[in-house]
A and B are shown apart, each in its own frame.
Chain A
């Protein structure tokens, strides 16, 4: 221990400052400090505490304690501060700020010099530092990486989920990973993770498994993103709170890191895993210790601790000033404004209907099984609302719904009347399960339910903005018809749940939110965007001294920005129309309403206009109302009598939910787990009335109900290919009923609802499954999917004729002999190519080129189709984060190397850099390929050569020369340069092979794609049906990229065309564009100059052309797919939409697609699009009938006119 006199009696100031060094680490959730005697390295003092968002206060407390407990004057210390909150505080204490990674690195170098990698998980950040030996230096080079804008993979995600699952801190620390069953949880973002956890939780997955799955996802996220492709070589040090305190987190690292070592042949010292992947002592203090180390290297005057005065002053006064300077006024400019707002938007009082005692109340019931609550309504024959009920989720929608029915019934029966439901509709997440359980008449997709409800109460609605607990839906209408809708498919920033959880975090119930927020006279300005980062803004604002009410006001204020600018990305509101309906539970909160109203009105005010904004008078129940209205429509329009099981049966519902090995589906190789809900109601046992397609709450599930007594066969009998012994399902449980052969016996009187990932899994019986499959196959056959057809045809052999030179008679020169040897190798040469990117349009060109030169078709080896597993296995080598299609480059080459090459060695891997593309379009600036895609092969090469040349090690030659297929003569030269030596080519045979390549390309494009599309179009026109055109790049044919969305539409009965398959025959072009060419709008049918000027990117221009095509073809509608970060799609978003919508053609889109498959959102979108397409189909059918009638009348009129003319001879008038 340092003695007082050492410093106190020391002579010069510099000597005094050679006293203890304080290392202070101010993190997002905790403050850590160590005080070290620099001469002895002894830690004199240390502490680690959560600051509960009061960083300056906690630091002040620490500093005061250090001063008093070590009994030293302030000027004895030097202070070095690190951590995310360190920079602001350092200056106020006279200390010096040290960047966190620098600090951690210094500590690691000092305390654990053998370390080669560090993984530090902090509250809101994650860091990985890879240490590398450098030649000629005794210091290792540090390759650090930190999370940038995203909280994915950090402690914040654990905190978020933990808060949801309410696991006490000590229990969380003890949760494990090894030996625990894992489920898929997205680690990319806390919000996504929560969505997955919600789903799993509803399936009854225990929280140990949920957390273990979360640990796994966090580890995977960091391994695939944050390592930037570097290998975490042993010894790996695990630092930071989660790694220090949570056992499962450490186990997850110890499980996953060695897998990478094995794959990459990393030499592993023969030591226990605890030492190779270790949590060091004082792990939580590393940054603080590193700050001290940094301080040692500074001159004695640097970091001279100045005492706490300035910090105290900041806490007392400065913070308030800082706050004032940064904030803005409150939610209302004045009390008068607030009062007039409140007057206008005050909720209308609503009373349930009064019923005459003894009367029979015939009513339609609507139930909305939402993510956080269930709502129910009663409506009468005239569409009047009779009663409402609300139930906060108790965890299961069936249980919640029983409560809802109980309450509705109570409302009626308490007045002595009798409730008699004459129709029941369900909507919301749980709509299908509820429909099955209740025997409801309809399960209506939420978007449609909300639209029906808004249109029921308000006329001329242009926009419906529904903000619920988790969902944001923007529905855009045009003359009462839905034109477009936006859902928060990828992000839930801006939803109501965040407001609620923040209020609750401050100790206020959500219904007091508005009252509290309106009391704030000023508020902090939040940056809109990621909800997880807004959470960190809250912490920051608290640090600055903003009070709860001010933060709540600021949060309400940013809500519309998140809704309109961030999630739905509609920046130009007036374009949508003037009449807005706000609905969804969040509109109960008037602070949120005022922000919305102000935001919308401000956009109109800029144009000198105002908008009409209504808050739905039954804002929370709009979905339930929509469902009831649909039941009413069915009753009135189709004369349908309800299939509802009855109120007493609902009361008596008993159910059990099972999701375990006994529910696993063995109908295909995926072997998915299913959820069985066995419901016991008064529904007659064995009822087998086949409910139509229905699906479960969290995935694009299909569900089916079956009762006891159906022909139950075991899943084993149903398996087309018997599983191996290892995979075989567990033996049957002893059945209560000997007739039932299900592994999960169905109790007497129960009906089973099966929630599965596909339709086939909705039954247990192979016969039924085959029927379902047969039905699906029939629909698919009748409606070809060119996405799928092209995806297969791009990689098949086109069996080109051999065009190789004849064997030379003599080989006199060395060159000739070399060539002969190379020629001889052709028959055995194995060439791997990635089934990715431009290969989806150019595959036949390259395969036919090689095949025609004598490479056997079987030796042209394509990587596997993209799957989640393929991506996951290869992506860990990636060092950058481009669009998902480009990111697939590495996994596909990884697949070639680690799967195909392993099976049978490859000689070459050919990944050409495609610079331009062949084109049919006319008058474009150029036909360039996307530069991200072009350069992908070089980025792939880098990934496999940066830590030693893996291609070299495996004896595989990597070829990635640039090619210009848009210029056949240049391509010929390029291919000759690439392959000439390897294949022993002559220029002439190369030229012939190139011709064969183009011939195959022509067959692929014109015969397979356009030929099939021609047939489809003819049939659509003949049958007056609709087809969907995928507006997407060729790689969107990749099932791993398009997430098989198109197949869902195919199953709904729509044939799918791609933009490159659209027939370009003269007749069609003339029909679609002839008039416009003659009118001079466009110089050529294949030109896009009338709509798009910057036409140098081929796939972009092609998309624009396809949009024009769809806009002019009466039997086609458009579905645009685009990837997150697509640099060439973004500039044409508005153009594509305008081209299609101007013509009145429906346009739908799935944008920002990436590696995460948001299955739940995809399902809602598909269902909604399906609904509106069917409406559109009905409308155009009706319109065509009307037009035909008009034509008949006109023909009659014409006959009459001509008759008059012929009768008049030379008339002056016709009547």
Chain B
């Protein structure tokens, strides 16, 4: 037995000796250490304020328009940032390789996209430690109910599996904003940040929609995109150069002196957000350029409203089989879904939660009829909280409207959440969370009922939890509204040809619907097609994107509405209708076809 030195008393010496011997004997017997090691999740590295100047924030997951504006906004606030490329199939495969099995594809696409980008940086010569030091990733999170709230863990797992275990992921909680403990001070979760993001999302929504409105009718192929690129560059510049409101000079000194500096600064920021002219002016300038794009609105195209799961309905890449460009190639007009609807949904959901739990606050007695005062107090308390959210909703919508009008007013206003709820609730309980659930049902009925689309296409990832169930309910919706054209597409990352084929299938119906509608309008108008075409060709303002096309009840398509507008004008100008002679013995469809007014889908090249 080896002698040991006693330094801390005999008892400790005995114990130490015994432990030493235990370890020796265990090793000799081939036993594992007595106490097994237990798994712990990795400690999360922070992004701190002092790293701001040397750290680039990576983000993505929306359309390039939204992302470009967020980029401008964040740079304007002094952050270095970089937009990730649109996720492609390769990103999806990387996500599958490094993530858990059985995920929905937004996870695979977005997680893989991040890893792919980092791998690209590494291939470009940066070391992993350098990458982890110089970049952070910023994404949204949630507390359920679907697995979206667990994406964060998936990012971390994939980063770990791909060798970037020290890479930082920052989370923006949908419901509660940024968690400061995670953010440290690297990314400041303040009003300026919020407003910059909100403006970027709103303007991104509007420009996105307007571009999709103009492109199908542009007279010169590619012109919309060219103008949009330039407009976006300008707006990015405006967002980048925009400085948050601040009290300066004497006003700041006085406010500081009376202890109101913070309050007044915040009030100033709100006022500027609601009434400021900087962004509105930039949008007005964008409008002028977009409105000048020459268009031919006599092209008959079905309008396809896009709904579905948040990411699948937003992305413009392989994540939804490049569905929007496919639809446009198939001669449809795409009506995209604004992110603003989601923001309204979140606020409305929070209001409902307060309503449902009125008087049920923890540790408080339930106010019954027998306790009228308590009941009143609970009522007032709840109303106050609901109103506060109501104000947020009003302010958000007001800004949205203001920007919408600045951009010419052709984009659709945000759907009213209360109306969405009323429409969907009998079919899909609106208290069942997940967003995609009842909203999809509501939008399907809403866009059909209001005559805003010929067809509703719901894009959802394979295995999407709420969206799959909403599809189950849609089968009853389709039963109740027999003339509604609805198609759900599960986007799995693979099987693009099949998905496109299914869309073509439904689009065939929608196209027939658009044609029939146009033919009816032509027939009933009393004016011949050639006559209207000639009339339009003589009036430049009718061949520009800036012309607002009215929406006549029961008429969905742009061409049909435009035709009605034109014939109204002609009537007002006293032009007599001359039905085309050639149409006399033909069906309306033949008549349209013969005059090149019905476009056919372009065959997909192999």
Structural contact, B482 and A880, CB atoms closer than 8 A: no
* Contacting pair A1215 B3 (CB below 8 A): yes
Given contacts A931-B144, A942-B473, A1205-B10, contact A91 B432 (CB under 8 A): no
Using known A-B contacts A91-B605, A146-B502, A880-B472, determine if residue A1093 contacts B41 with beta carbons closer than 8 Å: yes
Contact A143 B478 (CB under 8 A): yes
Which of A94-102, A183-191, A1036-1044 lies at the interface? A94-102
Q: Which residues of A contact B100 (CB under 8 A)?
A: 1130-1134
* Stretch from A132-140, A868-876, A1010-1018 at the B interface: A132-140
Q: Does A3 contact B (CB under 8 A)?
A: no
Asked whether, in the complex, the Cβ of A970 is within 8 Å of the Cβ of B360, the reply is: yes
The residue on B at minimum CB distance from A1191 is B22
Rounded to whole angstroms, the CA-CA distance of A602 and B232 in the bound complex is 42
B2 contact set on A, CB distance < 8 A: 1215
Chain A residues within 8 Å of B, Cβ to Cβ: 84, 87-92, 95-102, 132-135, 137, 141-144, 146, 148-149, 228-230, 297-300, 302, 322, 527, 529, 565, 569, 571-572, 575, 606-607, 878-882, 886, 913, 915, 925-926, 928-932, 934-936, 938-943, 945-947, 960-962, 967, 969-970, 972-973, 987, 1076, 1081, 1090-1094, 1096-1097, 1108, 1111-1112, 1122, 1124-1135, 1138-1139, 1141-1145, 1151-1152, 1183, 1186-1187, 1189-1190, 1193-1194, 1197-1198, 1201-1202, 1205, 1211-1215
Give complex CA distance A1141, B32 in Å. Answer: 14
B29 lies within 8 A of A1190 (CB): yes
Query: Nearest Cβ distance between residue B239 and chain A, in whole angstroms?
Result: 32
Name the interface residues of B440-497: CB closer than 8 Å to any CB of A: 462-466, 468-480, 482-483, 490, 492, 494-495
> Which residues on A sit within 8 Å (CB–CB) of B145?
928-931, 934, 1096-1097
A1151 to B101, CA, bound (A): 10
Q: Are A135 and B102 in contact (CB under 8 A)?
A: no
Q: Is the CB of B600 within 8 A of A935?
A: no
Q: How far is the CB of A1130 from chain B (nearest CB, A)?
A: 4
Which residue of chain B has the shortest Cβ distance to A145 in the bound complex?
B502
Q: How far is the CA of A1187 from the CA of B463 in the complex (A)?
A: 49
Do A915 and B603 form a contact, CB below 8 Å, given A571-B161, A942-B472, A1126-B102?
no
Q: How far is the CB of A1122 from chain B (nearest CB, A)?
A: 8
- Docked pose: A640 CA to B162 CA in angstroms: 51
CB-based contact B38/A1111 at 8 Å? yes
Contact at A1127–B153, with CB atoms within 8 Å? no
| Shortest CB distance A1208–B (Å) | 9
CA distance A970 to B437 in the complex (A): 22
Fill in one digit per residue for B332-367: 1 if any A CB lies within 8 Å of its CB, else 0.
000000000000000000000000110010000010
- Say yes or no: A879-B14 contact (C-beta < 8 A), given A99-B505, A1215-B3: no
Q: Min CB distance, A936 to chain B, in Å?
A: 7
Which of B209-217, B248-256, B411-419, B423-431 contacts the other chain?
A: B423-431
Query: B157: which A residues are within 8 A, CB to CB?
Result: 1134
Nearest residue (CB) in B for A1186 is B29
Q: How far is the CB of A574 from chain B (nearest CB, A)?
A: 9
> Chain B: which residue is nearest A230 at the CB level?
B475
With both beta carbons as reference points, the residue of chain A lying nearest to B37 in the complex is identified as A1142
B472 touches A1143 (CB 8 A): no
In the complex, residue of chain A having the shortest beta-carbon distance to the beta carbon of B24: A1190
| Chain B residues closer than 8 Å to A1152, beta-carbon distance | 102
Contact among B5, B41, B427 for A942, CB-based, below 8 A: B427
B596 at the interface (CB under 8 A from A): yes
Residues in A with CB closer than 8 Å to B603 are 87, 90-91, 95-97
CB distance from A397 to the nearest CB of B (A): 34
Contacts A299-B594, A322-B606, A913-B432: A931 and B437 contacting too (C-beta < 8 A)? yes
- B37 / chain A contacts, CB cutoff of 8 Å: 1142-1143
Determine the residue in chain B with the shortest Cβ distance to A570: B101
Question: In the bound complex, do residue A931 and residue B36 qualify as a contact, i.e. CB atoms below 8 Å apart?
Answer: no
* Measured CA separation A572–B98 after assembly (Å): 7
In the complex, A939 Cα to B98 Cα: how many Å?
34
- Let me know if B501 and A146 touch, CB within 8 A: yes
Select one of B150, B360, B432 contacting A962, CB under 8 A. B432
A1214 touches B357 (CB 8 A): no
Q: Once the chains bind, are B600 and A298 in contact (CB under 8 Å)?
A: yes
The answer to whether B39 and A1142 touch across the interface, beta carbons within 8 angstroms, is yes
Q: Which residues of A contact B161 (CB under 8 A)?
A: 571-572, 575
Return the contact of B152 from the options A97, A102, A1093, A1135 (Cβ within 8 A): A1093
**Minimum-distance CB pairs A-B, first 4:** A88-B606, A939-B472, A942-B476, A935-B469
Task: Please measure, in the bound complex, the distance between the C-alpha atom of A1201 and the C-alpha atom of B12, giving whole angstroms.
Answer: 12
Q: B482–A132 contact, CB under 8 A? A: yes
B140 to chain A, nearest CB (A): 13
Q: Give the residues in chain A near B477, CB-CB below 8 Å.
A: 942
Does A1131 lie within 8 Å of B39, measured CB to CB?
no
Minimum Cβ distance to chain A for residue B296 (Å)? 17
Q: List 10 A-B contacts (CB under 8 A).
A: A99-B504, A142-B509, A571-B98, A606-B163, A882-B468, A938-B432, A939-B469, A1135-B39, A1138-B39, A1142-B38
Bound CA–CA A511/B428 (angstroms): 59
**Is B473 in contact with A89, judged by CB distance below 8 angstroms?**
no
Contacts of B433 in A (CB 8 A): 915, 928, 931, 934
Do A1091 and B40 form a contact, CB below 8 Å, given A88-B605, A137-B483, A1183-B31? yes
Let me know if B1 is at the binding interface, CB within 8 A.
yes
Give, as a whole number of angstroms, the nearest-CB distance from A933 to chain B: 9
Contact A302:B600 (CB < 8 A) given known A527-B494, A571-B96, A1127-B147:
yes
A91–B606 CB distance below 8 A: yes
Give chain B interface residues in 142-180, CB to chain A under 8 Å.
Answer: 143-147, 149-154, 157, 161, 163
B residues in contact with A132, CB < 8 Å: 482
Interface on B for A, CB 8 Å cutoff? 1-6, 10, 13-14, 17-18, 21-22, 25-26, 29, 31-32, 34, 36-41, 96-104, 141, 143-147, 149-154, 157, 161, 163, 356-357, 360, 366, 368, 427-429, 431-434, 437, 462-466, 468-480, 482-483, 490, 492, 494-495, 498-499, 501-502, 504-509, 589-590, 593-594, 596, 598, 600-601, 603-606
Most chain B CB within 10 A, of A98, A99, A972, is at A99
A106 to chain B, nearest CB (A): 9
CB distance from B168 to the nearest CB of A (A): 14
- B596 near A299 with CB under 8 A, answer yes
Would you give the shortest CB distance from B308 to chain A, in whole angstroms? 14
Knowing A141-B483, A302-B600, A925-B143, say if A973 contacts B360 (CB, 8 Å): yes
CB neighbours (8 Å) of B495 from chain A are 148-149
Alpha-carbon distance between A1189 and B29 when the two chains are bound, in angstroms: 10
**Complex contact A935–B434 (CB within 8 A):** yes
- Bound complex: CA of A95 vs CA of B41, how far in Å? 60
What residue in chain A is nearest B104 (Cβ atoms)? A1127
> Shortest CB–CB separation between residue B44 and chain A, in angstroms?
9
- List residues of chain A with CB within 8 A of the CB of B152: 1093-1094
- Give CA–CA (A97, B6) in the complex, Å: 92
- Given the complex of chains A and B, what is the CA–CA distance between A916 and B470 in angstroms? 19
Q: CB < 8 Å: which of B96, B150, B593, B605 contacts A298? A: B593
A987→B465 CA distance, assembly (Å): 35
Known: A100-B501, A102-B504, A565-B96. A931 touches B476 (CB 8 A): no
Q: Which of B18, B34, B39, B473 contacts A1091 (CB 8 A)?
A: B39
- Residues of chain B within 8 A (CB-CB) of A97 are 601, 603-604
Q: For residue A932, which residues in chain B have a CB less than 8 angstroms away from its CB?
A: 465-466, 468-469
Q: Is the CB of B6 within 8 A of A1076?
A: no
Of all chain B residues, the one with the shortest Cβ separation from A937 is B429
Tell me the minimal C-beta distance from A1135 to chain B in angstroms: 7
Asked whether A886 lies within 8 Å of B606 as measured between CB atoms, the reply is no
**Is B97 a contact of A1213 with CB atoms below 8 Å?**
no
Q: Give Cα A932 to B432, complex, Å.
A: 10
Contact A141 B482 (CB under 8 A): yes
Residues of B close to A1145: CB separation below 8 A: 36
Min Cβ gap B355→A in Å is 11
Write out the residue numbers on chain A whose beta carbons fall within 8 Å of the beta carbon of B141: 1094
On whether the beta carbons of A1213 and B3 are closer than 8 Å, the reply is: yes
